[in-house]
Amino acid sequence: MYGADWCGDCRRSKRLFQQLKVEFNHIDVELDQSAAAKVIEINGGAKSIPVIVFSDGTHLTEPSDRDLKEKLLSLGII
Residue 52 confidence (pLDDT):
98
Residue 42 belongs to what H/E stretch?
Answer: helix 33-42
Q: Which domains does the chain have, with CATH numbers?
A: 2-74 (3.40.30.10)
Q: What is the mean pLDDT of residues 58-62?
A: 98
Q: Are 3 and 12 in contact (CB under 8 A)?
A: no
- Global model pTM greater than 0.85: yes
**pLDDT for res 31:** 97
Express each pLDDT in 8-52 by its tens digit: 999 999 999 999 999 999 999 999 999 999 999 999 999 999 999
Residue 43 in 3-state DSSP? coil
Indicate the pLDDT class of residue 7, thresholds 50, 70 and 90: very high
